Amino acid sequence: MKIGFIGLGNMGAPMAANLAKAGHEVRGFDVAGTVAEEVAEAASAREAATGCAALITMLPNGAILRHVADEIIPAMQPGSTLIDCSTVDVESARAVAAQAEDAGLQAVDAPVSGGIGGATAGTLTFMAGGSERAFNTALPLFEIMGRKTVHCGAPGAGQAAKICNNMLLGISMLGTCEAFALAEKLDLDWQKLFDVVSTSSGACWSVNTYCPAPGIGPSSPADNDYKPGFAAELMLKDLRLSQEAAEAVDAATPMGSRATELYQAFIKAGGEGRDFSAVLAALRGAG
């Protein structure tokens, strides 16, 4: 299949490379001039979109997605599929899907979970929104780039799922960091706390898989001086999206709101460029 790929950053480049390694003819473009292994370079987004059966975008925000959509949709051939893997606001996802469908294209919004490691290993989780037909067209590509794909519903449903998931993740990581910080003050050994919590009612991904305490549990950014697997500023972006969505539909998210404030304060105090689990270091007064 001829595939266009726009946005060859830390996530997009390995995703595009995995498609190319699987035998697809992939042509990519990034405004920063970055490239991906085995992926042909396009001179522009429009060139990447021309003649492809599927076009994948991985972009920073909804405003950029809308701008790129204005450029690429007219260049795409009717019947081809636009797959947006960015994490953006639900309104932008729905607007771009409608624009694509009006042009005779299929559209899927499919944000991902799994970070840079998952993008490289091809083990991402895709949360997809769009018609059944569009989803089934995109599914073989998701199966190359990821390990699990869930069709969440109509256009925008993928973004809704991602926003809800990451709001919960942000909240649970803050609670995990607070628990380990408190344990230290109470002279409770971190390993003992992990052994209890990881097999008890407090078990969650933030504890069992991505523990913020160095040397505890499976390897995580905490064991690498909190170099980001998922940067704190990206978590803040997703939390802000959750609060924008909550406000739009009048949903009560008091913990999501507080988590947004806490990550904003953490970044302002020097957390930018660190993993989102580095909140534990800040709570300990260790930076």
Contact 49, 55 (CB under 8 A): yes
Structure-block tokens of residue 128: 């997809």
**Separation of alpha carbons 246 and 260, rounded Å:** 13
Spot the catalytic one: 21, 162, 185, 268: 162
Closest CA to 14 of 150, 123, 165, 93: 123
Contact 100, 55 (CB under 8 A): no
Contact 198, 217 (CB under 8 A): yes
**Separation of alpha carbons 278 and 102, rounded Å:** 45
Residue 26: its H or E element? strand 25-29
Can 162 be counted among the known catalytic residues?
yes
Which residues participate in catalysis according to the annotation?
A: 162
